[in-house]
Every structure is written in C-alpha cells, then in structure tokens.
C-alpha cells in the first residue's frame, strides 16, 4: 500500500515539475494554492538550473551578506496582501531569540531565524524580465519573505548584485540533480 501512495505522490510531483517547466514565471504562492502544496514544493519543482536549495542555518550569514548589496526589494506575500520594500536591508544580529534588524528608519524588525528551514536561490523569468531572488523558507514549507536582486536604470538586473547572488547561491545552495 505504501508503494501505491508513493507512486501517486511521485506522479503528482512529476506533474508539478512539468507544469512549472511550462510556466516558470507563475506566481509561486498561487501555484501552491492551486496544487495544494507548499511554496517550497513549487520552488523545488522549477526546472533544473533555475533553483538551488540550501539549509536554513544559512539565514544569518545570507541576510548579512544581502545587507551589503545596496538597494534590493524585499517582498512578504500573504493570503491578504503583498508588501514590498525597496531599499537597503540592514545588518542583523541574534538576540533574545530573534534575528534583529535594528535601524531607526527604513526596514527594521525581529525575524524568527530559527524557523527558517531552507534557503532557495531562484533565477527565472517573471513578467517578461529576468529575475533573481533569495527565498527564506520556513520549516512548514512556506515563504517567510523573498529578497530580489535590484534593477538598474534600464530595469535590468544589477550586475554587481547578480554576482553576489550567484556567490551566495554557490556558498549555501546545492545544485539539484536532473
């Protein structure tokens, strides 16, 4: 019986991978809802070469590396709203059980870094343009937030940030086998 259940799950994963191969620009959270899977499963179903996954333990070092990139866009997508912040992400430090982003103005707050189960480094087309982002995935497979590589005056990905993104993906992410 377990084999039959495993083959159904395997078939569904294959179907999701085929869907994401045909629709790599689909909104991750919407696909997750439609397919009744986690956003993590949707990201993992992206075609090879579009995603590298790494451990959640890289949360602090990844955030502090991103803090040196300059202006980026941080997105929090919930069922009811999509919040976007464009600006510099401040460095953070762990204190009292949180990863604290401390600055008087701009982005600041207290993040449950211990709830980060994985990092996803995603590079894919979106709305007719190349995009690259780091998704911080919680232990339940949801997306805590995403940090997108910034764009230049011509709306192209900033080359300096893209290089930093690739270095971070290489440091923390693992290439997926086909």
Domain-wise residue ranges, the chain: 49-175
Residue of 154, 173, 160 whose CA lies nearest to 61:
173
Give the global pTM. Answer: 0.89
pLDDT tens sequence across 75-128: 999 889 999 999 999 898 998 988 889 888 888 888 889 889 999 999 999 988
pLDDT at 54 over 70: yes
pLDDT at 43 over 90: yes
Q: What are the phi and psi torsion angles at 35 (to 5°)?
A: -95, -5
Instruction: Tell me what pLDDT residue 7 has.
Output: 35
Contact 70, 92 (CB under 8 A): no
Residue of 131, 140, 116, 113 whose CA lies nearest to 40:
140
Q: Name the average pLDDT for the chain.
A: 90
- Token pair recorded at residue 114: 């211990």
Instruction: Tell me what pLDDT residue 176 has.
Output: 59
**Percentage of residues in the chain having pLDDT higher than 70:** 92
Alpha carbons 81 and 172: distance in angstroms, whole number: 30
Residue range 49-175, CATH number: 3.40.1570.10
- C-alpha separations of 6 from 10, 40, 93, 115, 147 in Å: 6, 19, 42, 28, 34
CA angle (157, 67, 141) in 5-degree steps? 80
Instruction: Tell me what pLDDT residue 102 has.
Output: 84
Confidence of residue 173 (pLDDT cuts 50, 70, 90): confident
pLDDT at 38 over 60: yes
Instruction: Tell me what pLDDT residue 50 has.
Output: 96
pLDDT at 37 over 70: yes
């Amino acid at each position: 019986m377990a084999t039959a259940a495993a083959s159904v799950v395997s078939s569904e994963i294959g179907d999701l991978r085929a869907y994401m191969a045909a629709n790599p620009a689909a909104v991750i959270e919407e696909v997750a809802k439609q397919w009744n899977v986690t956003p993590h499963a949707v990201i993992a179903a992206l075609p090879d070469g579009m995603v590298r996954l790494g451990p959640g333990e890289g949360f602090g070092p990844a955030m502090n590396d991103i803090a040196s990139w300059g202006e980026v866009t941080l997105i929090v997508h919930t069922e009811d709203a999509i919040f976007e912040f464009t600006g510099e992400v401040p460095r953070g430090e762990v204190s009292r059980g949180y990863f604290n982003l401390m600055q008087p103005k701009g982005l600041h707050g207290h993040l449950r870094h211990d709830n980060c189960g994985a990092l996803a480094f995603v590079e894919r087309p979106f709305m007719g343009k190349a995009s690259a982002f780091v998704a911080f995935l919680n232990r339940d497979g949801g997306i805590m937030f995403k940090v997108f590589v910034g764009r230049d005056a011509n709306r192209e990905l900033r080359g300096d940030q893209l290089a930093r993104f690739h270095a971070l993906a290489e440091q923390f992410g693992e290439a997926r086998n086909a």
